[in-house]
Structure 1
C-alpha cells in the first residue's frame, strides 16, 4: 500500500510539527508515505487524484483499531490518500468525492492535532500489520 497524506497548511505549532516529523519517519519504515501540504482545501482533491480518498471529518465513520486495520488490509496494493482539512474543515465538494469519510473522534479536533493523530494511528496500524508489538489492546 502506498500512502499519501495531504493536509491544508504546514503545522505551525511546535508539538504538531515535531510529532508529524516523528511519525512520518516511523511510517516510512513500513510503507511508502508522501506527506503533502496545500494552501487551500479546494486543492486537496487534485493531490489525491488516482488514489482512494479518505477524508477526515468529525461526521465520518468511527472505527476501532482492529476494524480500521481490516479495512486497510483490504486496500493492499492500492494508493490511498488521507485528506486533512484546515481550520475551516472541508468544502462539500471534497466530502462528496470521498471514498470514505473517516472520523478520528466524535470531538472536533484542531486540524494540526488531527494530522498528528492520523499519522500516529497509521503508524499503529502498520506495526500491527507487520506483527510488531507497538499496539497494546
Structure 2
C-alpha cells in the first residue's frame, strides 16, 4: 500500500509540526508515505488523482480502530490518499469525489491537530498490520 496525505497548509503550530515529522518517520518504516501540502482546497484533488480518496470530514463515518483496520486491510496493494482540509473544511466538490468520508472524532478538530491525529492512526493501523504491539485494545 502506498500512502499519500494531502493537506491544506503546512502546520505552523510547533506541536503539530514536530508530531507530523515524528509520525511520518515512524510510518515510513512500514509503508511508503508522501505528505504534500497545498495552498488552497482546490489543490487537493489534483494531488490525489489516481488514488483512492479518503476525505477527512467531521460529518463522515466514525470507526473504531478495529473497524478502520478492516477497511484499511481491504486496500492492500492500492494507492490511498488522505485529504485534510484547512480551517474552512472541504469544498463540496472534494466531498463528492471521496471514496470514503472519514471522521476522526465527533468533535470538530483544528486542521493541524486533525493532520497529526490522522498520522498517528495510520501508524497504529500499520503497526497492527505488522503485528507490532503498539496498539493495545
Query: TM tier, shorter chain?
Result: over 0.9
The separation in 2 between residues aligned to 1:67 and 1:16, in whole angstroms, is 26
Offset at residue 114 of structure 1 (A): 0.1
What is the aligned-residue RMSD (CA, Å)? 0.3
- Which residues in structure 2 correspond to 1:54-93 (within 5 Å)? 54-93=54-93
Partner of 1:24: 24
The separation in 2 between residues aligned to 1:61 and 1:71, in whole angstroms, is 12
Question: After superposition, what is the alpha-carbon deviation per residue over 1:70-109, rounded to whole angstroms, capped at 9, x for unaligned?
Answer: 1111000000000000000000000000000000001000
4+ residue runs over 2 A deviation: none
The separation in 2 between residues aligned to 1:25 and 1:45, in whole angstroms, is 25
* TM-score calculated relative to the size of structure 2: 0.99
Partner of 2:51: 51
Offset at residue 42 of structure 1 (A): 1.0
Offset at residue 13 of structure 1 (A): 0.1
Aligned pair count?
137
Query: Are 1:42 and 2:42 an aligned pair?
Result: yes
Query: Structure 2, unaligned stretches of length 5 or more?
Result: none
Question: After superposition, what is the alpha-carbon deviation per residue over 1:14-49, rounded to whole angstroms, capped at 9, x for unaligned?
Answer: 000000000000000000000000000111000000
The separation in 2 between residues aligned to 1:19 and 1:68, in whole angstroms, is 22
Query: Structure 1, unaligned stretches of length 5 or more?
Result: none
Offset at residue 8 of structure 1 (A): 0.2
Partner of 1:104: 104
